[in-house]
A and B are shown apart, each in its own frame.
Chain A
Amino acid sequence: MENTIQLEELFDAKLERGEFIEPKDWMPEKYRKTLIRQISQHAHSEVIGMQPEGNWITRAPSLRRKAVLLAKVQDEGGHGLYLYSACETLGISRDEVIQQLQSGKAKYSSIFNYPTLTWADMGAIGWLVDGAAIMNQVMLQRTSYGPYSRAMVRICKEESFHQRQGYEIMCVLAKGSPEQKAMAQDALNRWWWPTLMMFGPKDAESSNSAESIKWKIKRETNDELRQKFVDRTVPQAEHLGLTVPDKDLKWNAERNSYDFGEIDWEEFWNVVQGNGPCNKVRIENHVRAHEEGKWVREAAAAYAAKKAKAAQVQVA
């Protein structure tokens, strides 16, 4: 008992000094659990996020756009891999966390439960969704768990390209024909609020937030990040000549920030709980690919085992 208290003091002191917690260090069980939940959720978001954008790769309207979009979606898969590895350092296997995703026990970012209906959605996702993810991920580069932080540093290098390609798609559409401009506006209308929801519940209602801040897993609160995002994105929408779909949005000179309207929290909780337009489809697709790939994974394992055995026989 005393031992645990001592260890906990050491752990707290480390956090206090701003040092990283590494896989071999002692850590409170709750800290480990919180990290597993957060990192696996983050990994699943990268992987499930491949679906809505993957939906338009075969229909991208130019070869350059096709290549850029495919490269972007491939990056997201790579982020999933880094994060699954970071998660494994906490003592949980990739198989197990994937199992949790497929059973619905583990969540992923709700934003990917919205459908991609037009090409402009590729612009809106890059610009808004990657833009919001960057806010979160830049903060997480300074998270207290070493492997998570290092994964974030790698990921952030690629994310700015994602946002740029999305914004560029929007720029071209906004300057294009009236139909293209309408397509861009429609995408902004559909993606704006779900993007604001990405930052999570309000601080007052967020059960995990306070503890995550205390443990320096998170460095800024949901509401702080959301405000930052709005302040950065509204001028970009203006530059595009598009209208943010919020009648309460206005500049507050006193706060030096934008005031904005209330999120539809009923929709937020419904999508989290599985009632979003695409929750079922996303998981079904993931399960189907996993099941259809089973014989391939088995073959690879059987072949590797044969080769290992043959190598052993040779050595003997």
Chain B
Amino acid sequence: MPAMSETSHTKALFEILLRLGDNSLVLGHRLSEWCSKGPILEEDLALANISLDCIGQARLLLTYAGETEGKGRSEDDLAYGRLSADYRNALLVEMPNGDFGVTIARQLYYTVFADLLYSALRQSTDAQLAGIAAKAHKEIQYHLRHCTEWTLRLGDGTEESNRRIQKGFDELWAYTGDLFATTEADTQLVQAGIIPDVAALQAAWKTQIENILSQATLTLPQGTWMQKGSRQGIHTEHLSYLLGEMQSLTRAYPGASW
């Protein structure tokens, strides 16, 4: 096999870093929409905390993505300067908050995935990525505890809460397959030991989700058809609204600093 050329390696790493950074950014943004709307004040603060961790992760990852790309783009250039077709986050994290049950379902699906992924990324042969992952993985442990506890409370709480959170898990199910989709960039970086094979994480993910749901007296959705497209920049209709809001100021005043 021919040695990977430096440019294709750089491109692959850039793509993967965008994928990771965009996941954190878009999820962090969604969670921040809960501010002052939580079911109790304590939960408002908890969601803000998780959102802050996500935005922090996004900043590190997008900064590193910009450095990797080598065109002088900063975290903000990447966050505020790209439209949805250039975003690489998974479809799941851009899904609207819905009610608190939907938010927790989205959070559990994503966080179990992130826990597996970042746990492996700590061993990346790319030292900078491994460092970011080590920090992020600690935060993800807390996020996982938070959404697992809420899944149990809502699943095994009242009839209404059981119905609502089950609906959340059902509706979002078709967006989970996309978390594990891979591209040519994956193949390259897996070989170099920079990232794990995400497709191989799916079985462990499913087992873990199934365990938590059954503990919470909920059922694992059975659908087999999965939405796809995020790896090619084909998103749901929701993302462009999210970005339109996020980028409204920077687009109204091009070149200004804040």
Contact = CB atoms under 8 A, between A and B. Distances in A.
A58 B157 contact: no
B258 A62 contact: yes
Nearest to B32: A57
Contacts of B257: 172, 176
Contacts of A71: 48, 52
Contacts of B99: 292
Interface in A33-89: 47, 50-51, 54, 57-67, 70-71, 73-74, 77-78, 80-81, 84
Given A50-B36, A61-B258, A293-B38, A74 B52 contact: yes
A66 B39 CA distance: 23
Contacts of B25: 63
B45 A57 contact: no
Size category of the B interface is: 35 or more
Interface stretch (A208-216, A233-241, A294-302): A294-302
Contacts of A292: 37, 39, 99-100
Given A50-B35, A289-B36, A299-B154, A59 B248 contact: yes
Contact of A66 (B38, B55, B62, B154): B55
Nearest to B47: A74
Given A58-B32, A61-B258, A70-B35, A299 B55 contact: no
B39 A289 contact: yes
Nearest to A67: B55
A119 interface: yes
Contact of A296 (B39, B52, B248): B39
Nearest to B255: A177
Nearest to B249: A61
Given A54-B36, A70-B55, A172-B258, A77 B157 contact: no
A298 B253 contact: no
Contact of A63 (B79, B245, B253): B79
Interface majority SS (helix, strand, loop, mixed), chain A = helix
Nearest to B37: A289
A67 B79 CA distance: 13
Contacts of A64: 59
A63 B256 contact: no
Interface string B147-191: 000001110111011001000000000000000000000000000
Interface residues of A, number: 48
Interface in B116-134: none
Interface string B134-153: 00000000000000000011
A57 B35 contact: yes
A248 interface: no
A303 interface: yes
A51 B36 contact: yes
Contact of A59 (B41, B158, B249): B249
Interface string B24-39: 0100010011011111
A166 B226 CA distance: 46
A303 B80 contact: no
Interface string A217-256: 0000000000000000000000000000000000000000
A298 B48 CA distance: 22
B15 interface: no
Contacts of B156: 303, 306
Contacts of A179: 253, 256
B75 interface: yes
Contacts of B258: 61-62, 65, 119, 169, 172-173, 176
B89 interface: no
Interface in B212-258: 245-246, 248-250, 253, 256-258
A139 B160 CA distance: 47
Interface in A268-316: 285, 288-289, 292-300, 302-304, 306
16 contacts: A54-B35, A57-B32, A60-B249, A71-B48, A80-B41, A81-B41, A288-B37, A292-B99, A293-B39, A293-B43, A296-B39, A296-B161, A298-B160, A299-B161, A302-B157, A306-B156
Give the 6 A-B residue pairs with the shortest CB-CB distance, closest first: A293-B39, A299-B157, A299-B161, A296-B39, A74-B48, A61-B258
Interface of A: 47, 50-51, 54, 57-67, 70-71, 73-74, 77-78, 80-81, 84, 119, 169, 172-173, 176-177, 179-180, 285, 288-289, 292-300, 302-304, 306
